[in-house]
Structure 1
Amino acid sequence: MLNLLSILIGIISLVIVIPATIPLLGWANWFALPLIVIGVVIGQLSGSGRAGRNFCIVVGLIAIVRLSLGGGIF
């Protein structure tokens, strides 16, 4: 159950991160990062599978790379 919740949080985060790849919308990644961290923690607490945790980690890496390319703001 926690794994599904983690996947759901990852999908919500991905919906925020995808438009944030557009120039001048990189600040939206700062809203997605706390959600991603919560998804990773919930995915880690899940005993059965690790798919939710891994999905949130991948979304987080996309957000971090985009933030680093934009200098943290753009």
Structure 2
Amino acid sequence: MGLISLLWGIVALLWMILALIPLLGWGNWFLIPFAAVGALIAAIGLLFTRSEKNGRAKAGLLLNAIVIVVGVVRLGIGGGVI
């Protein structure tokens, strides 16, 4: 689960970088739920792994959380949230 959430977070991060380009900001509407699913997978991974082996899940959770925050801020700045 940790590896899946980490890879999910990397894909979300690449998508976020693409959505930062003007006129591609509409991608944030799809990016935020995508990253939320990755964060949910990471949270499940944290629950079901031992504390010695949950580093990937923590990294995936952090990466997906950063992507969600940047996506919400980007929508707020660009006027996407009315």
TM over 0.5: yes
Report the AA paired with residue 69 of structure 1: I
> Do the aligned residues in 1 keep the contact of 2:9 with 2:60 (CA within 8 Å)?
yes
Question: 1:13-54: CA deviations, max 9, x gaps?
Answer: 111111111112110111111110111000001132311111
1-structure distance, mates of 2:44, 2:5: 10
Report the AA paired with residue 3 of structure 2: L
The answer to whether structure 1 residue 24 and structure 2 residue 18 are counterparts is no
Larger-gyration structure (1/2): 2
State the number of aligned residues. Answer: 72
Partner of 2:79: 71
Q: Which runs of 5+ in 2 are unaligned?
A: 47-53
Q: Which runs of 5+ in 1 are unaligned?
A: none
SS at match of 1:36: helix
2-structure distance, mates of 1:59, 1:28: 12
The normalised TM-score by structure 2 is: 0.79
SS at match of 1:18: helix
Partner of 1:5: 4
2-structure distance, mates of 1:30, 1:11: 18
The normalised TM-score by structure 1 is: 0.86
| Aligned-pair CA distance for 1:60 | 1.0
Aligned CA-pair RMSD: 1.3
